[in-house]
Structure 1
Amino acid sequence: MLRNPNGLSHAVVALLGATILADAFSLIETFGLRSLFAGALAGHPDPEGYGGELALTVAWSLQALLLLATATVFIVWFHRLRMNAEVWASDLQRRKPGWAIGGWFIPIAFIWIPYGVAADIWRASRRDPYAADGEGELLVLNAWWTVFLADLAVGRIGSRLFDRAETAEAYVTAANWLLVGDAVDIVAAVLAILFVRRLTSMQHTKATGMIPAAQ
């Protein structure tokens, strides 16, 4: 039985929008921290010191909370679309519906399993599930997934460098990685919004009978 994903998609998009704002907040505060240590390295320490500890903590806490909330709602949305794909083209789904949830939590394998599930859902949701992929058809999915993986890598490197930093130079290096991580996260969130809206629209259009489902 088909289930409407529209409400969940709106929630995911709203959370991704909030994530972009939190990332922008973190960018501003992290840049302030970097400027402090860069000034110290250049021999121009700020006599007032850094007064943004609370703001930076709030920014990072918001990012963590939004990550948890967004991931939860996104996976629920993702599983719903996978169940709908089962109705339209179950034979094209290379993995069972449970992988739309479990695939995100398997170390290393999460790099390719959710992407494969997403590609199968995409094909089942288009006008003709059995047609060959058109040129650039999966561009939104591919772009989002590539930036998403880059975001995970850069963010992890930045966090580890910051946790281990003990000198001004080390803090500047860590802050540089964190700034790049925030910027990449914003791009990933924008691409995720495009992916969610596009795939939801495809399923809604197909489910409402505006195009025929494959027989």
Structure 2
Amino acid sequence: MSAFDQPRPATAWPSWAPTASFGLLAGMVAGLVLAAACDVLSLVACFRLRSVIGTDGGFTAASADSFDSAVSLYDAAARYQVIAYLPCAIVFVAWFLHMRRRTEPLGPDRFRNGPSWAVWAWCIPLANLWMPHRVATDMWTAATPLPRDGEPYRSRLWPVHLWWTLFLASGLFNRLAAYKYKHAVTFTEARSGVTQDIVSDALHLGAAAAAVYFAYRLTVMQRVKATAGPFGPAPVQPRTAEGTP
């Protein structure tokens, strides 16, 4: 049995325990909504271009104007995604660092890396494939209330895993789609690249929704633990009938 599974004795909770900032959370959510809106536009552009290309043996029967218009919308949507991604990423990393600092006093022993890794984890090649997930997992476990007497330590990490899996999958499909579309020789190959782009946009939308849920849950957990103490709110005792000892 690991140390994390051991019930912990009650201790005095520091009066200086931090509370979460919902202002930065709102800004981060707004950035994700903007990115999601660009993903929806990209999906519309992808479906339009895919329908124009057709499936007739690698040729298109659409007029030149229709084809050029569909390609123009597809390229514009891709540009909007890139433009929206930068401010969204900046605000998200700022929120990520903020929450890393806020959650550390709630469970210093849960963290395997210093606070600066909340930023560097996103910047270092290869390490950015798993380090942000590790930091997020540490924050989640730190914000999880400690077990009461006789209870095992449980931290349901599925919101963290879901967000990170969708995020990585969307990035992978995006790279494959861009490569396939850029190097397409026939309309059939281009249509295949657009289809992969549709999958990428759908996964990215899912990742944005999962990120909002993860961020909201973590923020609420941090606030509750900081205000109610390390064991969370006291359980509600059932009422007894009047006169019953």
Kept after mapping to 1: 8 A contact 2:59/2:187: no
TM-score (norm 1): 0.89
Residue 33 (structure 1) aligned with residue 49 (structure 2): yes
Q: What is the CA-CA distance between 1:88 and the residue it aligns to?
A: 1.8
The DSSP-based 3-state class of the residue aligned with 2:153 is: coil
Question: Across the two proteins, how many residue pairs are aligned to each other?
Answer: 210
Q: What is the CA-CA distance between 1:91 and the residue it aligns to?
A: 2.1
Structure 2 residue runs of 5 or longer lacking an equivalent are 1-15, 232-245
Label 1:162 to 1:42 Cα distance change in 2 as closer, same or farther (>3 A). Answer: closer
Aligned to 1:49: 66
Counterparts of 1:57 and 1:189, CA distance in 2 = 22
Residue 140 (structure 1) aligned with residue 156 (structure 2): no
Counterparts of 1:138 and 1:20, CA distance in 2 = 24
Q: What is the CA-CA distance between 1:193 and the residue it aligns to?
A: 0.8
Counterparts of 1:142 and 1:161, CA distance in 2 = 28
Q: What is the CA-CA distance between 1:79 and the residue it aligns to?
A: 0.6
% identical aligned pairs: 30
What is the one-letter code of the residue matched to 2:221? M
What is the one-letter code of the residue matched to 1:25? L
Counterparts of 2:101 and 2:188, CA distance in 1 = 51
Label 1:43 to 1:156 Cα distance change in 2 as closer, same or farther (>3 A). Answer: closer
| Root-mean-square deviation (Å) | 2.1
Residue 157 (structure 1) aligned with residue 176 (structure 2): yes
Equivalent positions of 1:1-215 (< 5 A) are 2=18, 4-39=20-55, 41=57, 45-47=61-63, 48-50=65-67, 51-128=69-146, 132-134=153-155, 137-207=156-226, 209=227, 211-213=228-230
Label 1:170 to 1:11 Cα distance change in 2 as closer, same or farther (>3 A). Answer: same
Counterparts of 1:213 and 1:133, CA distance in 2 = 14
Counterparts of 1:116 and 1:181, CA distance in 2 = 24
Q: Which has the larger radius of gyration?
A: 2
Runs of 4+ deviating beyond 3 Å = 1-4, 39-44
Label 1:114 to 1:42 Cα distance change in 2 as closer, same or farther (>3 A). Answer: closer
Residue by residue, what CA displacement relative to the aligned partner does 1:172-209 show, whole Å, maximum 9, x if unpaired? 111111111111111111111111111111112233x1
> Which stretch has the larger CA shift, 174-183 or 124-133?
124-133
Q: What is the CA-CA distance between 1:167 and the residue it aligns to?
A: 1.6
Counterparts of 2:127 and 2:70, CA distance in 1 = 39
What is the one-letter code of the residue matched to 1:151? S
Structure 1 residue runs of 5 or longer lacking an equivalent are none
What is the one-letter code of the residue matched to 1:132? Y
The DSSP-based 3-state class of the residue aligned with 1:213 is: coil
TM-score (norm 2): 0.79
Kept after mapping to 2: 8 A contact 1:103/1:113: yes
